[in-house]
Amino acid sequence: MKIILLGANGRTGREVLTRALDAGDTVTALVRAENSLTDVTDKELNIRVGNVCDPNFLKQALPGHDVVISTLGPRMPTKGACTIYSESATAIVEAMKECGVNRLLVTSTALLFPSDKLFDRILGFIARHNAHNAGLMEESICGSNLDWTIARMGFLNDKSSTAFRLAVGTLPDGGGSISRAAVANFLLTEAKQSSYANKVVGLCQ
């Protein structure tokens, strides 16, 4: 595949990048800083520096690619940082429509699944800016005519397991945390198979 990857310099994005390159895919990583990914050397990796919330930057990079994968998210759940979800989604949808690239996979948050659990309600309040902007992101994507898949998950960890459990429209029973390796495994598998096109899925281990 020829993949456009947003969020490649984050920990989940790094997992996607490494596994895609190991599989022989071509990856164009869109990053915001010149010194990003300088430790990665692979002939199938292309790095483009720009603003991922700028549709004009995305329109320059997208042509010729098969799929867009976004693992973008805020480093801290502050009001300003969380707008990366909604602002990038608006730009991605516009650029993909104009460039004729239809397959989109994004990561989102399990906070958007309804829950009556007290812990989930407390967490939802603490991370309310995260959930609000992730919700706006999903609205932009679901309202488009793109071939999209949204993967919602809870806490991420750095364990090595790539196994995952999945449910459509909810977290699997007993769902909790999931490794970044498992998220990357799902995203790349789904990019090839399109088993969950136009669906929101919950992931856990």
102-147 per-position pLDDT tens digit: 999 999 999 899 777 776 777 777 778 888 999 999 999 999 999 9
Nearest CA to 20 out of 58, 74, 65, 86 is that of 65
**Verdict on whether the full-model pTM lies above 0.75:** yes
Can you give the CATH number for the domain in which 182 is found?
Answer: 3.40.50.720
Q: How many domains does the chain have?
A: 1
For 57-69, the pLDDT digits (tens) are 999 999 999 999 9
What range defines the domain where residue 197 resides?
2-204
Alpha-helical runs (H) found in the chain:
11-22, 55-61, 83-99, 118-126, 128-142, 180-193
Q: Is 146 exposed, middle or buried (0-12, 13-18, 19+ CB in 10 A)?
A: buried
Between the alpha carbon of residue 191 and those of residues 70, 85, 124, the distances in Å are: 12, 20, 30
Cβ–Cβ under 8 Å, residues 70 and 105: yes
Say which residue, 37 or 130, is predicted with more confidence: 37
